[in-house]
Structure 1
Amino acid sequence: MADPDLEEQEKARRIAEEDLQGHHKQTYSGFLLLWLSFQATGIIYGDIGTSPLYVFSSTFSSQPSWDDLVGALSIIIWSLTVIVTVKYCFIVLSADDDGQGGTFALYSLLARYTNIARNHDPREAAMIPMERYHTNDLKSGGKSLRSFLESSKFCQVMLQLVGVLGVSMVMADGVLTPAQSVLGAIQGLEVVKPDLSVSAIVGITCAILVLLFLIQPFGTTKIGTSFAPIVTIWLLLNMVAGIYNLAKHDYTVLKAFSPSYAFTYLVRNGQDGWASLGGLLLAFTGVEALFADLGAFSKRAVQISWLGLTYPCLLLAYIGQAAYISTDETQTAYTNPFFNTLPPGTFYFGLVMAILAAIVASQAMITSTFQLLTQIMRLSYFPHIKVIHTSRQFSEQVYIPLANWLLMIGTVIVTAVYSNTTSLGNAYGVCVMAVTFITTCMVALVAILVWRLPFYIVIPFWLIFAALDGAYLSSVLQKVPRGAWFTIVLAALLCSIFTIWRFGKEAQWKAESLDQLPLAALVKSDPATSESSLVLNETFGGVPVSTVPGVGIFFDKAGDPMHLPACFTHFVIKFAARPSIIIFFHMRPLTVPSVPLEERYVITHTYGLVNCYNVTLRHGYMDDVLRPGLARELVGQIELTVSRGRRPDVAELEALRAAYGSQIVYILGKEAMKVKTGVSMTSRVAGFFRGFVLWIFLWMRENSRTKLADLNIDADKLIEVGFLKEI
């Protein structure tokens, strides 16, 4: 007959493997997919959708000739087609990491198929879902590339840094974009009120920004559903105006669909043409939000909203503006292309929609910041701060209060300092193009190592996309001395914070791994009394371990049944005592709204310890699990498990009830850390630098929120066991 303890442990192992290694990407169809596509329109495309307000005015400083106008239009058309539609919509969106997007998701995806991420939390290493192909399953080029990456420490560090830098740059744009879009919208009021002062514009902008961040707690679904009608009407207005201008003015601008006009424009204008790319790239700024916001929506929803609405509307908008500008006798239409090209009788409606759309435009980068910050916290590159899931239907839609308020403060300060869109525009664009270039390179690696495509297919596509990104990036780098340094410095600061936290966590994991003890390393049975009596091993003094009545609930953050929780180890060493009933309590969050009560608890007996249980609480993001009375629920679930066993043990049940009637205590570990002195380093400078970085990490750790910060249990029953770690 099979051992029931082994059976329950095997069942627990299978559940843990499914929870931690299973795929969690949500798929949608029917009405839910259409609703999500509608939300995506309101969140993602506000930024790229408002570009018709300023692209031509940012590109030309005087009335362009027909050839230059059509050449610029050709660059816009083919940039939207090649970079946004082909590269992002069809290729990049397919390179998701279990539904997540962004450059760090690309790094995480590569790390699952190649051994490039060497340092993991040792407590979770067994649960990391590696999907590495056998060598013979890769093409010859893929074999060589993977072998090179796995053997080169430098390349591994660079890939990690590039992935983190890409996330940092998107977040840096998240500070700039709201200020740029809302300030641009309020400056539009000067069209009807030319005497509006700068201080009034800045004040109104700051008030709207504060209001915009105040509504973020409502969540992506409600905000997206509210903003989507504004963006949809705005895009349709641009499409109608484009069709009107194309029919009424110069239909010959349709020749811009020939890419030859783009090439001749650049050749003819030389350095000036190359410099103008810095204005033309504004036609697709916000493209990074398509990938960064992927987790909040889905690949199909993003594709439907782009191909079905945004892309055709933007093409017709730019074509219509070019048609009007080419026949403009005043030669001033290019200075304010949207308002000057509106059909008769629609000016004030267009003004209202432009202001509303520009305000909404900033939502794309706010949502991106929340999504990316969730990713890096999950992968231990940032301290765990409060994350609120805002939807039961869409599990990856989140709101992060601290990030929201910091973004609000940052955008208000940026607005007050720069005070106009011209100054802000100089700070804009560098991070966007850097992120698109990083994405191009990392997706090429994914294509070779994950999708297993041959080199001769990947390299030509990479060269085309990299050449486009490189051309735009080289042009926009001119803005660095004029203001773009701000976003670069901000991105570097964020990247440093993420890297320092990860470095410190790796040092912490290494120190904690030395303290992971199996039961046999801590205690042994006392043959002089009974098998249930324990004695500390000689290493810890060889003292008998006494038993005190009551239930001790030890919080186990690792949930590893092979090793004892650190708080239990130090409790027993310090007091040479154990509660009569021991519960090792581990919480496992799942990416679902709620877990049914009958599936919530996984309970096993701890081998070698009498009346000791491993209890894993599986919970969804909407479940309220840490609350007063938790002990009663845990004991009740253990009673239920024991009574349902093959051979219910009456004595065990009586011991459980007696201990519960005696007393209940919750035991938490309080881990203090300090930097180890006298660590052997190759140089004194390296040792000082390492110590300084770890000091910053410890300062961040002391001032950041713990994972159990929401602990809402009986405070009078709580014990903290302190212990020191040197890193």
Structure 2
Amino acid sequence: MSEASTPVHQPHGVPGKGHSASKAALAVGAIGIVFGDIGTSPLYAFRETFRGAHHLPIDDLHVLGVVSLIFWSMTLVVAIQYVTILMWADNKGQGGSLALVALISRSIGKTKYSWVAVLLGVFATSLFYGDSMITPAISVLSAVEGLTVVDHRMDPFVIPIALGLLVFLFILQKRGTAKVGALFAPVMIVYFTVIAGMGIWQIVQTPEILWALNPWYAINFFILDGWFAFLALGSVVLAVTGAEALYSDMGHFGRGPMRLSWFGFVMPCLLLNYFGQGAMIVGLPEEIAEEAIRNPFFFLAAEEWRLPLVFLATAATFIASQAVISGAFSITHQAIQMGYIPRLSIRHTSETEGGQIYIPIVNWALMIAVIVLVLTFQNSSNLASAYGIAVTGAVTIDTLLMAVLLVGVWKWKWWYAAPLVLLFLIVDGAYFAANLTKVPDGGWFPLVVGLIAFTLLTTWARGRKLMRDRMSEVALPMEIFAKSAKNSALRVPGTAIFMASSTAGVPSALLHNIKHNKVLHERVVILTVDIAEVPYVDPGERCEYHDLGDGFYRAILHYGFMEATDVPAGLKQMKKCGGEFDMMQTSFFLSRQTLLPSEKPGMAIWREKVFAWMLRNSATAMDFFKLPTNRVVELGSQVEI
């Protein structure tokens, strides 16, 4: 076999995109982009523990118990489980449930239990969509509600102002966030500094709140209240919402800078504020404490500073919501590339940052859901009843995946891994169980969203596999076709590229073309775009090709699941596949499948109908692969699944 026909070996991933900025600069950037979700939790987490669905007495022991629970929850779940342990579990620099599943699948192979890990990861991803709807609603509402602390007459204006801000936020997405994003870090640094300063001021006045560092007060809380302390976990966990997002966003900045910003700045600021809220309540007379607990975050500030604090908190929640929406775009892009969601229209909003994308259908679906949530639940306290179950569900799933990771990938002895996993399962499981009590009061919403998303994701993956299997059953080997077709059809100048989902067999578009048009181009390339189980593929390993003789070639372009699939740009790198590709002399032939009812369906009829609907409404391959619009020919075919 000549050099020109030797296939390039299967690509390996490259470790992320490479972070050229300094660790300190990346750490500062992470403060603006990554920590907004968990950073805005002080607006409502402490308050909801006392004034949520289950009221707690406002006395020293309960305040110390709640603050101690918040401290140890943040330490165990965020600092140890995610930032310390799971951030080592990166898939070539990328984090998140899907990246973790890809890492596990690649390491343990196709075993009889590997499908369980895949389903868990898909379900955790599905729950994220419920979380991404509630986070903007509760964050912005809780900040705008600060206006009622400044002036109670502002109460009727809270919902209109919050809705206006949220609609503006979603409209802003199509313009991208590159320019606005430059302001994120300075604003969030000011925000974290201010909330830490307010906390320190209260701690200095009531230093006995520092006894909450002792875990005995958290344990004593359960001894005192038992069942009500368990229910309070459903609100305490609001302090750690955003932990999973930290792991998912790891690829943008790297584990080192994110650990630096978390341990060196964000975590101390958050804890100082929580301890400050507790110190304020402990130091106030009972009747004033009853009023302050309605919105302790804003009561931390002197009266003349509360309005500026409302503006600062609103800016912070705006940034936090932006990060969650961008996360939904990123997760959706990963799921598309990994075959769990049909092709959607994706727009890149930055010429230099490949990760900045905009997915219109996801954006508008989130906006409608957020508006409905605000109008339905009316205030952040009611929304808190729906918040938390999606996050704790995802965190519990990540703990189960961590068990597979420790034993199956890192090869820990089970007696080392079991105590660690058991500890986190007890903690995360307790939070998840406490949040299950919220289901009747609104917790059903993220569960329903998660179930719908899980059904759609698994239906698409299953239907896509069945369709490919059916097509491969009747596929003609390319080598046989090339030999029989070379003398039976007229050869015309130019290049024809036939897009194929499989690397074997003849694409239906090629068969239809020769059947109806009875011509073949001088150069015929069967092109497959392969998405690897790594975030990025080394550009040097992008192209793979086989010379089949007589002007026929089979080519494969390899991409990572975080990369944009730009086929014309990929073809420019492919020099030896019969020469360079001139787009003005190249035609792209695409197949569009129509599903037919099958006598022996591969899945339930209702799922077949859902899959057919998703197939009809998916973006065209022309848009997804960035093909030149005036060089595309589309040919239809019918498939039974």
Tell me the TM-score normalized by structure 1.
0.79
Does the C-alpha gap of structure 1 residues 258 and 605 become closer, same or farther in structure 2, counting only changes over 3 Å?
closer
Q: 1:670 aligns with which of 591, 599, 609?
A: 591
Partner of 1:381: 340
The answer to whether the Cα contact below 8 Å between 2:393 and 2:432 also exists between their aligned partners in 1 is yes
One-letter identity of the residue aligned with 1:251: P
Partner of 2:161: 204
Partner of 1:83: 77
Partner of 2:412: 453
Cα distance between partner residues in 2 of 1:558 and 1:113: 25
Partner of 1:192: 150
Partner of 1:420: 379
Does the C-alpha gap of structure 1 residues 515 and 571 become closer, same or farther in structure 2, counting only changes over 3 Å?
farther
- 2:16 equivalent to 1:25: yes
- 2:514 equivalent to 1:556: no
One-letter identity of the residue aligned with 1:569: L
- Higher mean C-alpha displacement, 162-171 vs 363-372: 363-372
Cα distance between partner residues in 1 of 2:543 and 2:57: 72
One-letter identity of the residue aligned with 1:704: S
Q: 2:262 aligns with which of 297, 300, 306?
A: 306
The answer to whether the Cα contact below 8 Å between 2:495 and 2:586 also exists between their aligned partners in 1 is yes
Mapping of residues 385-424 of structure 1, within 5 Å: 385-390=344-349, 395-424=354-383
Cα distance between partner residues in 2 of 1:578 and 1:346: 76
Mapping of residues 97-108 of structure 1, within 5 Å: 97-108=91-102
- 2:435 equivalent to 1:521: no
One-letter identity of the residue aligned with 1:7: E
Mapping of residues 11-50 of structure 1, within 5 Å: 12-14=7-9, 17-18=10-11, 21-28=12-19, 30-31=21-22, 33-50=23-40
- 2:246 equivalent to 1:255: no
Quote how far apart the aligned CAs of 1:725 are: 2.1
Does the C-alpha gap of structure 1 residues 718 and 290 become closer, same or farther in structure 2, counting only changes over 3 Å?
closer
One-letter identity of the residue aligned with 1:169: L
Does the C-alpha gap of structure 1 residues 465 and 224 become closer, same or farther in structure 2, counting only changes over 3 Å?
farther
Cα distance between partner residues in 1 of 2:622 and 2:85: 40
Partner of 1:127: none
Does the C-alpha gap of structure 1 residues 637 and 463 become closer, same or farther in structure 2, counting only changes over 3 Å?
closer
Cα distance between partner residues in 2 of 1:694 and 1:678: 12
* Cα-to-partner distance string for 1:5-55 (whole Å, 9 max, x where unaligned): x21122x424xx23xx33342342653x43332232122222211222223
The answer to whether the Cα contact below 8 Å between 1:241 and 1:343 also exists between their aligned partners in 2 is no
- 2:281 equivalent to 1:294: no
Cα distance between partner residues in 1 of 2:411 and 2:213: 34
Mapping of residues 112-511 of structure 1, within 5 Å: 112-116=106-110, 150-151=111-112, 155-198=113-156, 200-219=157-176, 221-247=178-204, 249-329=205-285, 330-332=288-290, 333-342=292-301, 346-390=305-349, 395-511=354-470
**Higher Rg of the two aligned structures:** 1
Cα distance between partner residues in 1 of 2:197 and 2:396: 34
The answer to whether the Cα contact below 8 Å between 2:8 and 2:541 also exists between their aligned partners in 1 is no
Cα distance between partner residues in 1 of 2:509 and 2:284: 77
1:674 alignment partner, SS class: strand
Q: How many residue pairs are counted as aligned between the two chains?
A: 629
Cα distance between partner residues in 2 of 1:714 and 1:391: 22
One-letter identity of the residue aligned with 1:37: A
Does the C-alpha gap of structure 1 residues 722 and 393 become closer, same or farther in structure 2, counting only changes over 3 Å?
closer
Cα distance between partner residues in 1 of 2:603 and 2:494: 46
Quote how far apart the aligned CAs of 1:514 are: 2.1
* Cα-to-partner distance string for 1:342-399 (whole Å, 9 max, x where unaligned): 2575333323222222332323321221221122111100011133445566544433
2:340 alignment partner, SS class: coil
One-letter identity of the residue aligned with 1:78: W
Partner of 1:582: 524
The answer to whether the Cα contact below 8 Å between 1:286 and 1:364 also exists between their aligned partners in 2 is no
Partner of 1:120: none
Q: 1:606 aligns with which of 540, 547, 566?
A: 547
- Higher mean C-alpha displacement, 406-415 vs 477-486: 406-415
Quote how far apart the aligned CAs of 1:665 are: 6.6
Mapping of residues 576-725 of structure 1, within 5 Å: 576-584=518-526, 606-609=547-550, 611-613=551-553, 626=568, 666-679=587-600, 690-709=604-623, 713=628, 715=630, 718-725=632-639
The answer to whether the Cα contact below 8 Å between 1:175 and 1:411 also exists between their aligned partners in 2 is yes
Cα distance between partner residues in 2 of 1:29 and 1:468: 38
Does the C-alpha gap of structure 1 residues 24 and 558 become closer, same or farther in structure 2, counting only changes over 3 Å?
farther
* Cα-to-partner distance string for 1:561-587 (whole Å, 9 max, x where unaligned): x64444223323445542344344566
The answer to whether the Cα contact below 8 Å between 1:603 and 1:613 also exists between their aligned partners in 2 is no
Partner of 1:540: none
1:721 alignment partner, SS class: strand
Does the C-alpha gap of structure 1 residues 34 and 388 become closer, same or farther in structure 2, counting only changes over 3 Å?
farther
Cα distance between partner residues in 2 of 1:455 and 1:286: 29
Relative contact order (C-alpha < 8 Å, sep 6+): which is higher? 2
Q: 1:9 aligns with which of 5, 14, 20?
A: 5
- 2:47 equivalent to 1:57: yes
C-alpha RMSD of matched pairs (Å) = 3.4
Partner of 1:644: none
The answer to whether the Cα contact below 8 Å between 2:498 and 2:588 also exists between their aligned partners in 1 is yes
Cα distance between partner residues in 1 of 2:258 and 2:349: 20
- Higher mean C-alpha displacement, 484-493 vs 577-586: 577-586
- Higher mean C-alpha displacement, 405-414 vs 336-345: 336-345
Partner of 1:71: 65
Cα distance between partner residues in 1 of 2:565 and 2:640: 36
2:494 alignment partner, SS class: strand
Segments of structure 2 that go 5 or more residues without pairing to the other structure are none
Cα distance between partner residues in 2 of 1:222 and 1:103: 29
* Cα-to-partner distance string for 1:221-261 (whole Å, 9 max, x where unaligned): 544432222221111111111211111x2212212111111
Tell me the TM-score normalized by structure 2.
0.89
One-letter identity of the residue aligned with 1:326: V
* Cα-to-partner distance string for 1:267-316 (whole Å, 9 max, x where unaligned): 11111211222221121122221112223332223222211211011111
